[in-house]
């Protein structure tokens, strides 16, 4: 039976934030507060065989009194956590949740780790309250909680030293029209030869006629998308993305042209190099729903269904190198009108 590695999803930190490219954005830290790890706090022992552990009350008044971001600026939240765990086998991650009244409870997940024990300091995924992040983060009351997740049947201990909540304002400098222009220009340019994946005629658009969507097809499409990204094939890259792209964290949608184009600094890193350094896995509905039930909440504008697959391709193989920091390596795919499409990304 396939091992459930869904905590690995949160190699999200190593991806560009949903809809915003770090190269095309100006980021500014506008607020920070310590949720745990102050002068009166002692290191907190946690274990994957326990559920959520409350850390304490949150000063919601101070957090919600921060001035709203300017027009054209998006406010996003994340946590910086100092911790250690004893993951000797399998994969594990830390989650921090802000339980609150009158607002959607923010949930932050740190990058997964595998077989790496000892001290760590990592940022979580991004969280925003709405598409522009203007709404208050919390209600009138709030409590912070933490848990350690590991595969079923694995007891993994850990220690929390410090958790810091941060607010960042990000100004987008590129417009959708600019990216569309790039795509149009690229469509007339010579696309580099694909060195690792040989496709048959008619496979370029991933049209899979007279076949039911399944795991193998989903994985094949996802790997082709990675290949196009590494080759800088912009027309194929955006043709592989659905017109609406959803956020896994919020369920909100945006235009596909607001997805950052492939990074440019990995020229010479081929698809074969990717396969040598990274694991690639595909997960079905029951697997990701078990670890991330919040994705299925009815209050969301969009939720994945049983025909939607989660691809995770940012897990570094043993002895491999984590070279790709700005490529899209975690996403959801689905067949739409006979063609596979990327339909959702992490924050």
85 within 8 A of 122, measured Cβ to Cβ: no
* The pLDDT of residue 192: 37
Q: Are strands 253-255 and 330-336 parallel, antiparallel or unpaired?
A: unpaired
* The pLDDT of residue 14: 37
Domain boundaries, the chain: 22-172, 176-345
Count of beta carbons in the 10 Å neighbourhood of residue 305: 9
Sign of CA dihedral 43, 48, 53, 58: positive
Environment class of residue 102 by beta-carbon count within 10 Å: exposed (0-12), middle (13-18) or buried (19+)? Answer: exposed
pLDDT (tens digit, 0 to 9) for every residue of the chain, 347 residues total?
444 344 434 443 333 334 333 344 478 899 999 999 988 889 999 988 888 999 999 999 999 899 988 888 889 999 999 998 776 555 678 889 998 886 677 888 887 765 556 788 889 888 888 777 888 898 888 999 999 887 666 678 889 999 999 999 988 654 455 555 555 555 544 433 333 333 343 443 433 343 455 888 999 999 999 998 888 888 889 899 999 999 988 899 988 888 888 876 676 788 889 999 998 989 999 888 887 888 998 889 999 999 999 999 988 888 888 888 778 999 999 999 889 999 999 86
* The pLDDT of residue 211: 43
* DSSP strands (E only) in the chain: 25-36, 44-47, 53-57, 73-85, 91-100, 107-109, 113-114, 118-123, 142-149, 157-172, 241-247, 253-255, 278-283, 308-316, 330-336, 339-345
* The pLDDT of residue 172: 65
280 within 8 A of 223, measured Cβ to Cβ: yes
* The pLDDT of residue 256: 86
Domain 22-172 class, CATH top level: mainly beta
Note the helical H segments in the chain: 60-64, 176-187, 215-230, 234-239, 271-277, 285-291
* The pLDDT of residue 285: 92
127 within 8 A of 17, measured Cβ to Cβ: no
* The pLDDT of residue 22: 38
Q: What is the CA radius of gyration of the chain?
A: 20
Phi, psi of 194 (to 5 degrees): -75, 120
User: Per the confidence metrics, is the pTM higher than 0.85?
Assistant: no
| Interatomic CA distance for residues 248 and 303, integer angstroms | 8
* The pLDDT of residue 48: 84
Phi, psi of 322 (to 5 degrees): -85, 80
| Interatomic CA distance for residues 18 and 241, integer angstroms | 13
* The pLDDT of residue 191: 38
157 within 8 A of 128, measured Cβ to Cβ: no
């Amino acid at each position: 039976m396939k091992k459930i590695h869904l905590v690995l999803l949160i190699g999200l930190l190593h991806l560009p934030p949903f809809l915003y490219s770090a190269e095309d954005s100006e980021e500014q830290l506008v607020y920070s507060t310590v949720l745990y790890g102050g002068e009166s706090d002692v290191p907190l022992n946690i274990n994957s065989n326990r559920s959520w552990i409350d850390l304490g009350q949150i000063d919601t008044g101070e957090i919600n009194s921060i001035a709203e971001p300017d027009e054209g600026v998006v406010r996003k939240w994340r946590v910086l956590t100092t911790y250690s765990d004893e993951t000797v086998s399998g994969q594990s991650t830390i989650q921090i949740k802000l339980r609150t009244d009158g607002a959607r409870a923010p949930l932050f997940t740190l990058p997964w780790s595998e077989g790496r024990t000892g001290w760590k300091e990592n940022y979580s995924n991004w969280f925003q309250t709405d598409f522009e992040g203007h709404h208050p983060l919390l209600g009138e009351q709030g409590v912070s909680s933490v848990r350690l997740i590991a595969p079923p049947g694995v007891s993994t201990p850990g220690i929390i030293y410090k958790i810091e909540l941060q607010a960042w304002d990000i100004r987008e400098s590129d417009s959708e029209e600019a990216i569309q222009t790039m795509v149009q220009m690229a469509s007339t340019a010579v696309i580099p030869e694909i060195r690792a994946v040989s496709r048959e005629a008619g496979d370029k658009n991933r049209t899979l006629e007279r076949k039911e969507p399944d795991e193998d097809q989903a994985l094949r499409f996802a790997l082709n998308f990675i290949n196009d990204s590494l080759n800088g094939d912009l027309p194929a890259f955006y043709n592989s993305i659905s017109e609406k792209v959803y956020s896994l964290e919020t369920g909100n949608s945006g235009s596909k042209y607001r997805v950052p184009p492939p990074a440019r600094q990995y020229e010479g890193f081929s698809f074969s190099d990717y396969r040598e350094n990274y694991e690639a896995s595909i997960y079905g509905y029951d697997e990701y729903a078990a670890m991330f039930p919040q994705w299925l909440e009815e209050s969301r504008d969009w939720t994945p269904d049983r025909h939607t697959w989660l691809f995770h391709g940012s897990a570094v193989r043993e002895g491999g190198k984590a070279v790709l920091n700005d490529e899209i390596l975690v996403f959801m795919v689905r067949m739409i009108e006979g063609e596979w499409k990327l339909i959702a990304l992490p924050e």
